[in-house]
Amino acid sequence: MCDPALPCPFVTKWGSLGSGDGQFNTGPDGVAVDGSGNVFGADPQNFRIQKFTNTGTFLTEWGSQGSGDGQFANPTGVAVDGSGNVFVADFTNDRIQKFTNTGTFIGKWGCPGSGDGQFNGPGGVAVDGSRHVFVADTGNNRIQKFACAGGCGDVNGDGSVSIGDALVVAQYDVGLRTCAQLAHADRCDVNNNGTCDIGDALRIAQCDAGLIPCAFTCGSFRCL
């Protein structure tokens, strides 16, 4: 039986099935909180991001179905950086989109594939205090790390990454399947100490966000 007193006492809840304000359809599939306590929920089958106060009052939403700027095809992950910018893992469009805190489109990167800066169903996204963006590249069984020195705008149409846009700085390639393999990496959250918790369907693994993954030697690490 679940003990409501441990480890985190219940506070409140919100949401129901539907497409209205504050409702979700087959979700929410990702959640993030900004520095002011506002809550962002990825609503995949309504093809939108919803923003709420910390107690669940609906504030705004953005997105529609499609592949244009600011549109989504199953947004499954959401993260907020220290400046309040919102990053969305646009799963079926194989890209990451970046928005202001109120939903104005800023930039995007990614396209289908398995090369650097390419994605096969990015299922989750996270941002650390140094503006590195971590993407759970689900279908490619890996985590990709990007440096947003130039603001993470558009990348080249062929999926290659230009300096000043989203620069691939590291990959946690788990394809060798030698030990603590991530069979279905679909979440990645960055802690205050710079480590990233990588979630898959079978386990949670923690690795150093800038170095060779610690505690296991699975896969390979590349730094460009």
Superfamily of domain 30-222: TolB, C-terminal domain (2.120.10.30)
What pLDDT is recorded for position 169? Answer: 52
What pLDDT is recorded for position 127? Answer: 92
Question: Which residues neighbour 89 within 8 Å (Cβ) at sequence distance 6 or greater?
Answer: 30, 42, 75, 76, 77, 78, 96, 122, 123, 124, 125, 135, 136
Alpha carbons within 13 A on the beta-carbon side of 78: 31
pTM, rounded to two decimals: 0.71
Q: Are strands 58-62 and 48-52 parallel, antiparallel or unpaired?
A: antiparallel
What pLDDT is recorded for position 5? Answer: 61
Question: Which residues neighbour 222 within 8 Å (Cβ) at sequence distance 6 or greater?
Answer: 170, 171, 173
DSSP calls for 27-41: ---EEEE-TT--EEE
Tokens 């990645």 — which residue?
188
Q: What angle do CA 27, 206, 39 make, to 5 degrees?
A: 35
Domain boundaries, the chain: 30-222
Q: What angle do CA 175, 207, 83 make, to 5 degrees?
A: 110
At 173, which amino acid appears? D
What pLDDT is recorded for position 186? Answer: 47
- Residue 29: how many CB atoms within 10 A of its CB? 22
What pLDDT is recorded for position 171? Answer: 55
What pLDDT is recorded for position 212? Answer: 31
Q: How far is it, in rounded angstroms, from Cα 105 to Cα 68? A: 11
Tens of pLDDT along the chain (224 residues) come to 566 566 778 899 999 999 999 999 987 889 999 999 999 999 999 999 999 999 999 999 999 999 999 999 999 999 999 999 999 999 999 999 999 999 999 999 999 999 999 999 999 999 988 888 999 999 999 999 998 643 444 443 343 333 233 444 555 544 322 223 333 344 455 455 554 444 433 333 333 333 333 232 223 333 22
